[in-house]
Amino acid sequence: MTRIAQILVAAGKGERAKGESGGDLPKQYQTIGGKAVLRRTLEATQSELRIRETIVVVAKGDPHIGPLIEDLDTIRTVTGGATRTASVKAGLAALADNPPDFVLIHDGARPFVTPALIGEVIDALNTSTAAVPALPIADALKSVDGASVDRDKLRRVQTPQGFHFDKIWAAFSALPEGASFADDIEVAHAAGLDIAFTTGDTNNFKVTYPSDFAKADAMLKTETYTATGTGFDVHRFTEGDVLWLCGVPIECGFTLLGHSDADAGLHALTDAILGALAYGDIGDHFPPSDPQWKGASSDKFLIYAIEKIKERGGALQHVDVTLICEKPKIKPHRDAMRARIAELCGLPLTRVSVKATTTEKLGFTGRGEGLAAQASATIKLPA
């Protein structure tokens, strides 16, 4: 499986954004819609589930980063340098001991990046060693002496910029001391890497000037609504060695009977998400009559539902799963279940709940014939 890491560059002082918008606070720590710019960027990039590790490059002695990331997993910080190039090199060096296959390098002050944009950059790396989102230039261009410039030969480029890690690390390692480039694609171009241009997004702007904060706040005020869906699933016990529940294997001497791996917890959660989207139920999308789903891992169903949220431009806010059974014992596995669901959903652990209860020996669960799961999912969607 391709390993993907990202580097968020957040070591700048943000001088151009200071003054009326935030005093001496660097722009990445100033707030839009009540939340720090860098925190919004982190949450936006972590919604791309293929990214497994994040390096945040910060200024030496940065006092703000700790509280901002204390509840987020798979994040490390490193100290940057005097230039962007030096900071990116520090981030790459932090990954070099256990290098990923691909690395994305993103500005910490671009909080409106979307999973679709990130995904297109990642996909482009399957055929190119470097990729960058770009936008055409609509305005006429002139040089300082008034001469026309052919805008069709120019592009506005954004981040994240993606690379094969070994290639971009070699390019940065070969730079002379003190070298400084405008961005990382410039380093790739100088090293002769082949570069793919993907589709940029006008909303993926870099918060730079005081006026950008007003623009960002206005974008966040776009009308949305909150949808809540519920799901319920039941499976009977049968002979077997391993039982899958909430994405976690439990060795208990029996298993659940079903067409897929019969993970009732993930089935209920998938149904809850589909319900919030008003997209029918899990059987509509993965019919048990279809042989391709025989024995399938249920994380595929949940990932599919998460992708449907992204297609709607929504964001999963919170999930809650309740397991109803006399056996197996859930508590020893609950933390692992929460961690796995958080990973699949791209949520911090604080937004994932897993609980268990019994029916006091009543009914089929009380007789130990099977188990049930119910779940709820809360999603923020554009109106």
Average pLDDT over residues 88-99: 97
Fold classification of 224-382 (topology level): 60s Ribosomal Protein L30; Chain: A; (3.30.1330)
Give CATH superfamily name and number for 4-220: Spore Coat Polysaccharide Biosynthesis Protein SpsA; Chain A (3.90.550.10)
Tell me which of 9-18, 61-70, 110-119, 301-310 is least confident: 9-18
Average pLDDT, the chain: 92
For the chain, the domains span 4-220, 224-382
Tokens representing 105 are 């390098």
The DSSP secondary-structure symbol of 23 reads B
Question: How far is the CA of 13 from the CAs of 57, 70, 94, in angstroms?
Answer: 12, 22, 22
329, 333, 337, 339: CA torsion to nearest 10: 160
- Name the percent of the chain in helix, strand, coil, to the closest 5: 35, 30, 40
User: Residues 285-307: pLDDT tens digits?
Assistant: 998 888 888 878 999 999 999 99
Q: Which of 49-58, 166-175, 304-313 has the highest mean pLDDT?
A: 166-175
Tokens representing 231 are 């799901």
User: Residues 338-362: pLDDT tens digits?
Assistant: 999 999 998 888 899 999 999 999 9
User: Residues 309-325: pLDDT tens digits?
Assistant: 988 889 999 999 999 99
- Residue 364, classified by CB atoms within 10 Å of its CB into exposed (0-12), middle (13-18) or buried (19+), is middle
- CB contact set of 323 (below 8 Å; sequence gap of 6+): 245, 246, 264, 265, 330, 354, 355, 356, 357, 371, 372, 373
- CB contact set of 358 (below 8 Å; sequence gap of 6+): 324, 325, 326, 365, 366
- Rounded distance between C-alpha atoms, residue 81 and residue 13, angstroms: 12
